[in-house]
Every structure is written in C-alpha cells, then in structure tokens.
Structure 1
Amino acid sequence: MIIDFRKIPKEEFEIDVKEGEVSLKARVFKKKSNLLVCQGKISGTLEHHCDRCGAPLPVALDEAVEVWISDGAIPLEEEGHLLNLVEFFDGRVDFCAILHSEVEAIKSDYFYCQTCEN
C-alpha cells in the first residue's frame, strides 16, 4: 500500500497491510505537515528457524509498534527523540515496506525451538 504523502488526510485513518501470514493493523495520523505517526500491532505467524539447531520454527507474532514516518530528512535536533523513524524521499509512503522492515527487525532476535530451550 503506497500513498502519496500530500494526499494523506489530517484526520486519523486506519491501515491494514499483509505480507504472507503477517499483518500490520494500525492507525495513522499527522503530527506535522511532513511527519506521520503509525501506531498499531503486527500479528500473525512468521516462518523462521531455530537459531541453535536450524530446525523450522513458526513464531507467533503479537507486537505493538510505533513508527514515525517523515517526508524527507528530519533535522538531527528533532530526530534525537524519534527511536523508530522511517524517512521516505520520493513523496510517497510505502506501508508494505514499513511492515517488511519491522518483520526483519523482529527476525534479528534469537529464537529457539523447545528442544534447544531446555
């Protein structure tokens, strides 16, 4: 789901983006003319592998997310308090790319199967 930044309304709206078995349901609202806030939840099942033995491991997701989205670069003095900032430079917001990025961040954690946890 790609939306032109200039077409995003001032009123809060909801998105529902899906990638495979994982979805992002969130509310989006403008904080400033060039800054959005996306607050929601990533849920579903992620096919992953055990980081110790390599066995297939389905991971159930139920993660709250808050992503700040800017149209262009944000000055460093403003950026300091924004922990999860995504900058787009083409005047459009790609919510599928945001979901993909958040899933990749989750996958970077360690996951162990029941055998390896013991």
Structure 2
Amino acid sequence: MSEKDQRIQTGKFGEDAACDYLIEADYKIVERNWRCRSGEIDIIADDAGRLVFIEVRTRKTGGRFGTAAESVDRRKQQQVRDTAQVYLRSIGCSAESIRFDVIAITMSRQMDSILEYKHYEGAF
C-alpha cells in the first residue's frame, strides 16, 4: 500500500471513530467530508442546536510531525473558518451559534487500537 493510501486509510479510520464518539455523546451528524472550492470540513454536527464544525486529525504513535492536535495550525484554522462560511451561506444560515472543534486521535502503529482520543471543544 502506498504512503498516500495509508494516510487516507488512517484519516478515514479516525473520522469514523470520531463520528462514533460524537453520536454516543448525543451529537447529530449533519455532514461528513463537506467540500467546496475553499476546502473541506471533516464533520459538521449539531450539538443541542449549535452547529459544530469539526476538524479530525489522526496520527500514528511515534510519528515525526508532532501530535494530531498540533497539526491544526493557523492556516488550517482559517481554511476551516472560510469553508464554514461557504457552508453557512449555502444553507441560508447565519454564524450566530456555531463552534469550531478539533478531535485529535492517536493510533497504534498497527492501526488496531486508539491510544489517545481528545476532543477540544471551541478549539479556535
């Protein structure tokens, strides 16, 4: 399997795990992998009437590029904000009650278990 295919598989695994967690925590999943010209939002969910835009980052343990949460830099935060604005316009909604969260997942090297799961509400 190529390195790109492995990254895609790791990301999908993390997003699936994040959705399971969110559903268990009484969030309603509104969209997954919503795309437009400005970017993609991994998960859009409803949390008791508040629209939540969630960036999911999954890393294998012992990676070279820092933690999953550290990878959501200012540039990525701005891209998610911009994409969220496009989404809100597309559904005719204002930005009154929204939140931006990050879910950071650390997997075992073998991808057979989640070692750490952190949900940062209102991350940016």
In our comparison, the structure showing a higher alpha carbon Rg is 1
Higher helix proportion, which one? 2
If asked which structure has higher relative contact order (CA below 8 Å, sep 6+), I would say 1
TM-score for the superposition, normalised by structure 1: 0.36
Higher strand proportion, which one? 1
